[in-house]
Amino acid sequence: MRAAGAALNAERIKLTTLRSPLWAAVAAAVLALALAALQASVSSGYAPMPVQRAAMGVAVFGVPVLMVVAAMTVTGEYRSGLIATTFLATPRRTVVVCAKAVAAAVFSVVVAVVMVFGAVLVARLVAAPRAAAGLTVSAAAGFSVSIAIYAALTAVLGVGVAVLVRHTAGAVTALLLWPLLLEPLLGNLPGRSWDIGPYLPFANMFRFLDVQWLFPDYPMRWGATGSLGYFAAVVGAVFVVALLTVNRRDA
């Protein structure tokens, strides 16, 4: 336990003292807030605007950027050679990788929740009075819980993919193209989307979040909770493979 605590504290210091994670978080927040303002400006003034629409930018763009930040906590050390020193200080590599995942998950959760409330506030200021009626603190708090779960899981996924790939360019490409390009393409294939769509991990996560993205309304074989469980299972599988891999190969 002492080694795990020391490793977690070390990862926390690395993550919070570097400028790149903070700048990435700021960039993600700006993008999410801008999209919230855009959504509010074009929303109908005759019906309340749902929180999911106001904070869509957080789910679609903000959290994937935080997932990349999580990945770079691993790939950055491989690029600089610091990973060998890290493994020398903490020989149990599973502890190191889990500490990175926990630190990245906490960072992502905090930033994502702040972005949700910020997006709701911006949308409330821009939207028409009747549309803004649905953008309440309680609604934002409820949605922020779902976003926090999403952010934590994607942070773990980012660390897992980074451990497997080890290169920043490859990890970033895979993590961004997966939810933003690959799944929407597969989910909209003519004649096949209804067969493939229900098994796409991020499509299931957006079903759990109730966020309308580039996916049709698939007839899911399980409910919202099942969609969350499916996404968590995919993340867990990737992370377990990453742990097995990092313990078998050289730093």
CA distances from 87 to 81, 83, 84, 135 (A): 11, 6, 5, 47
Q: Could you tell me the two tokens for 34? A: 């801008």
Give percent above pLDDT 70 in the chain: 98
Query: What does the pLDDT read at residue 111?
Result: 97
pLDDT digits (tens, 9 = 90+) for 226-244: 999 999 999 999 999 999 9
pLDDT of 251: 56
**Chain mean position to CA 131:** 28
pLDDT at 2 > cutoff 80? no
Distance CA 38, CA 122 (A): 10
Amino acid at 64: P
> Six-digit token pair at 163?
């451990």
Total length of the chain: 251
The two structure tokens encoding residue 39 = 């959504």
- The confidence score (pLDDT) of residue 192 equals 83
The whole-number pLDDT of residue 191 equals 80
What pLDDT is recorded for position 173? 96
CB count, 10 Å around CB of 47?
Answer: 12
- The 10s digit of each residue's pLDDT in 103-118 is 999 999 999 999 999 9
Tens-place pLDDT, residues 3-58: 788 889 889 988 888 888 889 999 999 999 999 999 898 887 678 889 999 999 99
pTM of structure: 0.93
Domain ranges of the chain: 2-246
